[in-house]
Amino acid sequence: MAARVKVTITEMKPKIKIRLAIESVSLVLMLVLILSGCKTNVKNYTSSYEYRVDSLLKLMTLEEKVGQLTLYTSDYDVTGPTIREGYKDDIKAGKVGAIFNAFGADYTRKLQEMAVKETRLHIPLLFGYDVIHGHKTIFPVPLGEAASWDMNAIYKSARIAGDEASAQGLHWTFAPMCDIARDPRWGRMVEGAGEDTYLGSRIAVQRVKGFQGDGVGSLNSVMACVKHFAAYGAAQAGRDYSTVDMSDRVLREVYFPPYKAAIDAGAATVMTSFNELDGVPASGNKYLMTDVLRNEWGFGGFVVTDYTSIMEMIPHGIAEDTASAAALAIEAGVDMDMQAGFYQDALPGLVKKGIIKEDLIDASVRRILRKKFELGLFEDPYRYSNVEREKATIMKPEFLDAARDIAKRSIVLLKNDKQLLPLSKTQKKIAVIGPLANARQEMIGSWSAAGDWSKAVTLLEGIKSKVTSADHVLYAKGCNINDDSTKYLAEAIRVAKQADVVVLAVGEAALMTGEAASRASLDLPGIQQKLVEEIQKAGKPVVVVLMNGRPLTIEWIDKNVPSVLETWFLGTQTGYAIADVLFGDYNPSGKLPVTFPRSVGQIPIFYNMKNTGRPMDPNSKYTSKYLDESNEPLYPFGYGLSYTIFSYGDVVLSKNSISDTDELSVTCKVTNTGIYDGEEVVQLYIRDLVGSVTRPVKELKGFEKIMLKKGESRDVVFKLTTKDLSFYKKDMTFGAEPGKFQIMVGGNSKDLKIAEFVLR
Ligand code: BGC
C-alpha cells in the first residue's frame, strides 16, 4: 500500500472550517435519515434502499467511495482477534469497506464499532470468510459431499454453515466454488462438485440456497459468493493459477452453467478467478464481468477479486503498474479489490486525472452499499455479532447429527468382494492400520478455515464406538502419510497378523488438496503403497478406507484388495460416519462425482467425451487409444456400490418421436434384489447422435436418489423437454436440433439401459 498523508482539521483554512461546520450539521441530519431507514411507509423496500444508497453516495468523498471497494484481511487464523495497525487506521478513515478472516461475535463487534463510531459517515463493515464446507461443524469436503448426490443433505450442510457463520458475526461466505474440474492433478478439485456440468449446477443451487437461507438479510444466513469466475478449473496441466484457454462453446456449455445456476438461485456476489481466459485475466476481463455476468445474465450483486488478482495482472503481463491494473479491473466491472490495495492506491488519482469516470466508481459503490442495506446493517450494524446466539448455535448437537448423516451419505463403496462388508460388531479382532486411521488433524480436510480439528472423530474412535468390546480393536500407524520412513511398518504387519480383519486407512494429507496443492502423481504418497502391499500379504481380509480430496490412481488396490471405501475427508464426524458404513448401520449410497483414472497419463478423462472420427477399437491400431494404457477409467463417473443389489428394467419412453413442444416421459423400473434396504442414485443420460457440431457420447440430464426396501421395485420417471436436448449449435444459438437421440438410464455412467427417440 502507498504511504498515506494525513491532513488534520487544525491545518485547514478558516473558510473551509466554517463550510465544514455547516456541512456537518446537514450531514448529521442526512445521515440520521439514511442510516435510520427513513421509516416512511414505503412498501417497496428495494426502492427505499435505492433512495438511501443514492443519498449516502452524495455525501461520500471519492476516497470514502473507494474505501467501500476495498477489502482487507484481519489475519485471524494467524494472529487471533487482532488486526494490523495500518488497517485499523484505514477503517477509521473510511478507507476500508469490508474485512475478511475476522469472525467471532465479540471480535466482529469490536471492528464494527471502529467503523460505525469512528468514521465520518458511520458506514458499517461487511465481514467475509471462507466458509466452504461448514464453519465450526465441519461437513465433508465439497467434492465428497457431491458424492452424496443428495440435494437435501447438501442444502442442509450449507444451511447449517450459514447459521453458524452468521452467529459469529459473518455476513458473507466465499462459496460455493462452482468450477467444473476435470483434472484431478488440480488440488482445488476438492472444493467443487466434480467434473459434471449438470450435477455441478444442481449442487450449486443447493449451496447458494443453503447459505442464503430465507434471503440476504435473514439473520441466520450469509451471502453466497459464486467462485471462481470463470473456468479456473481448466488450469493447464492441472497446475494451480495456470493459464486457461478454451473455445467459447466449451466455456458456455461446460463451464458456465454452474455459475449461472448459482446466480439464478440468487447468489448475492461473485468472485473472479486467478486465471486468464483468452489472454485476459479474469479480474480485468470485461467480457466475463460485464458482458456475460451483468448484461447477459442480469447479475445485480457485486463482484470481488480473488485475493490479490488485480495485482497479479502485472506478472500476467497485461498491466504495467498499479494504476493500469486498477483501471483494467474497474473498467471490466470488478467492484471490490480483495487485499491488493490497488483500488485504494490508484482509483482516486485515476478519477482526478480524468482517466476513470467517477460514475464507474459510483456504480460499484452502489452495488456494495445495497448489500449492506439488504443485510440490515444500517438498521443494526451489530445484528450478526450476538454472543448469546453464538453460544447457542455453534456445534449444537443437532448440527453434529446432521454432519454425521451427511458424511455417511458421501461415502462411496468402490469394491466389496464376497460381501466382506459390512463387518460384524462382534468381530473377534479388528486391526485398524494406516497413517490416516487416527490422524485427527487431517479429518476436517482442507478449507475448513474456522474448523477445530481437535473436535474431529477419528476412524479408530469411530470403530471403537461400534464394537462390543474396544479391546478387540488393535491399532498400528504403519507409516507416515508422506515420507519414506519404514520404522512403523513391522509393527503394522505384526498387528495385521493378529487380527481377523484389517481396516486400512490410507490416502492424502488434508493439505495435499486445496489451493496451491497440485500433484503430478496421483499415487498414494510416501510409502503407503508398500504398506498396503505388505498388509495384504499378511493374509487377512483387508478393507481399504481411502481419505483424499481427489481421485487417486489405485489400480493395484482395486485388483488385490477385496473391499475399498472412498471416504474423502468427511469432517467433524468422520470416524462415526465411516463406522456407520463399515458395520452396516448405513448402507453406502454415494456415487463418484468424478472419474477415477487408472493412471495420470489418461488425464483429462471424463465421461462425456466426444466420440472422435476413430473411436477406440481394440482390433484396429489406428484408432483413438494408448499403446500402453486402456481408455477405460478405473471407476467411471456416477459409480458406487451398495450392500444390496439394484437391477434395472428396460427404459420405456412415452413416445418414440416428439415435437419441440412435447414432454417426453422416461420410465425405468428399479428393483432392490439384494438382502438389505438401500438407496440408489438412478441416473439419466442422453446422446444426440448427429448435430451441427459434434456432441458428447453421454450427458447427464437427470437423476433421482431413491430408497428401496429389499425386494421392493419402483418406476422411476424422468420428464425431458427440448431444453434438456439443447446446446450451442454451429451458429452459437442455443437450442435443440431435430434428429435421433439415445436415452440411457442406470446406476453409473457406464452400465446403462438404452432407448432411442426422434426429435421432429
Ligand atoms: C482463494 C479463494 C479464497 C480467497 C480468500 C484465495 O486465495 O483462491 O478461493 O476465497 O483466497 O481466502
Distance CA 193, CA 204 (A): 8
pLDDT band at 36 (very low <50, low <70, confident <90, very high): low
* Nearest CA, atom 11, ligand 1: 307
The pTM of this model reads 0.94
Helix 151-167 / helix 397-409 crossing angle, nearest 10 deg: 150
How far apart, in Å, are the Cα atoms of 278 and each of 108, 243, 281, 495? 40, 9, 8, 56
Taking only the tens place, the pLDDT of each residue in 131-178 is 999 999 999 999 999 999 999 999 999 999 999 999 999 999 999 999
Taking the centre of ligand 1 as the mean of its atom positions, its distance from the CA of residue 599, in whole angstroms, is 30
CA-191 nearest atom, ligand 1? 9
DSSP symbols for 385-438 = --HHHHHHHTT-HHHHHHHHHHHHHT-EEEEEGGG-PSPPTT-S-EEEESTTTT
Q: What is the pLDDT of residues 545-598, one digit of tens each?
A: 999 999 999 999 999 999 999 999 999 999 999 999 999 999 999 999 999 999
pLDDT of residue 82: 78
Q: How confident is the model at residue 48 (pLDDT cuts 50, 70, 90)?
A: confident
Length of the chain: 760
Give DSSP secondary structure letters for 496-544: HHH-SEEEEEEE--GGGSSTT---S--SPSTTHHHHHHHHHHTTS-EEE
Q: What share of the chain is helix, strand, coil (3-state, %, to 5)?
A: 35, 20, 45
Give 703-754 pLDDT, tens digit per residue: 999 999 999 999 999 999 999 999 999 999 999 999 999 999 999 999 999 9
Question: CB of 307 closer than 6 A to ligand 1?
Answer: yes
Check: CB of residue 51 under 8 Å from CB of residue 37.
no
CA distances from 719 to 373, 604, 653, 703, 728 (A): 41, 31, 10, 11, 22
Phi/psi zone of residue 512: left (φ > 0), alpha (ψ -120 to 50 degrees), beta? alpha
pLDDT over 90 at 265, yes or no: yes
- Single out the catalytic residue among 90, 163, 306, 345: 306
Would the CB of 312 count as within 6 Å of ligand 1?
no
Does ligand 1 come within 6 angstroms of the Cβ of 76? no
Tell me how far the alpha carbon of residue 185 is from its chain's centroid: 17
- 128 Cα to the center of ligand 1, angstroms: 11
Mean pLDDT (whole number) for 253-282: 98
Specify the pLDDT at position 19: 39
User: Closest Cα to atom 2, ligand 1: which residue?
Assistant: 306
Q: How far is the CA of 380 from the centre of ligand 1 (A)?
A: 28
How would you class 521 by CB atoms within 10 Å of its CB: exposed for 0-12, middle for 13-18, buried for 19 or more? exposed
Nearest protein Cα to ligand 1, atom 8 = 306
Residue 166 Cα to ligand 1 midpoint, Å, equals 19
CA–centroid distance, 340 to ligand 1, in Å, is 13
Question: Per-residue pLDDT for 22 more than 60?
Answer: no
Q: Are strands 337-338 and 70-73 parallel, antiparallel or unpaired?
A: parallel
Distance CA(98)–CA(157), nearest Å, equals 26
Substitution site in 306, 310, 447 for ligand 1 pocket (most atoms within 8 Å of beta carbon):
306
- CA distance linking residue 748 with residue 640, whole number of Å: 7
Atom of ligand 1 nearest to the CA of 177: 9
Please, which residues have CB within 8 angstroms of residue 131's CB and are 6 or more apart in sequence? Answer: 161, 162, 164, 165, 170, 173, 174, 175, 211, 222, 449, 450
Q: For 534-543, what is each residue's pLDDT tens digit?
A: 999 999 999 9
Supply the residue whose CA is at minimum distance from atom 6 of ligand 1.
Answer: 307
Q: Is there an atom of ligand 1 within 6 Å of 130 CB?
A: yes
Beta bridge partners of 664: 720
In the three-class reduction of DSSP (H, G, I as helix; E, B as strand; rest coil), residue 302 is classed as: strand
Tell me, in angstroms, the distance from the centre of ligand 1 to residue 170's CA. 16
How many A from CA of 306 to the centre of ligand 1? 6
pLDDT at 4 over 50: no
**80 falls in which pLDDT band (50, 70, 90)?**
confident
Grid cell digits, residue 55 = 443519498
CB 300 within 8 A of CB 216: no
For the CA of 225, the closest atom of ligand 1 is 10
Strand partners, 740: 758
- The terminus-to-terminus CA distance of the chain in angstroms comes to 63
What pLDDT does residue 86 have? 85
Write phi, then psi, for 546 (nearest 5 degrees): -90, 140
Mean pLDDT to the nearest integer, 45-57? 84
In the predicted model, what is the mean pLDDT of the chain? 94
Q: Is the CB of 174 under 6 A from ligand 1?
A: yes
pLDDT in tens, 118-142: 999 999 999 999 999 999 999 999 9
From the CA of 274, give the closest atom in ligand 1: 8
Give, using CA atoms, the residue closest to atom 7 of ligand 1. 307
688 lines ligand 1 (CB under 6 A): no
In whole angstroms, give the CA distance from residue 125 to residue 322. 25
Closest among 508, 572, 490 to 545, alpha carbons compared: 508
Confidence of residue 76 (pLDDT cuts 50, 70, 90): confident
306 is catalytic: yes
User: Helix crossing, 574-582 with 397-409: angle to 10°?
Assistant: 50
Grid coordinates representing 269? 456476489
Mutation test of ligand 1: which of 179, 241, 307 has the most ligand atoms closer than 8 Å to its C-beta?
307
- Give 103 Cα–ligand 1 centroid separation in angstroms: 16
Q: At 84, is the pLDDT very low, low, confident or very high (cuts 50, 70, 90)?
A: confident
| CA 108 – CA 99 distance, rounded (Å) | 9
What is the 8-class DSSP label of residue 73?
E
Tell whether omega for the bond before 230 is within 30 degrees of 0, i.e. cis: yes
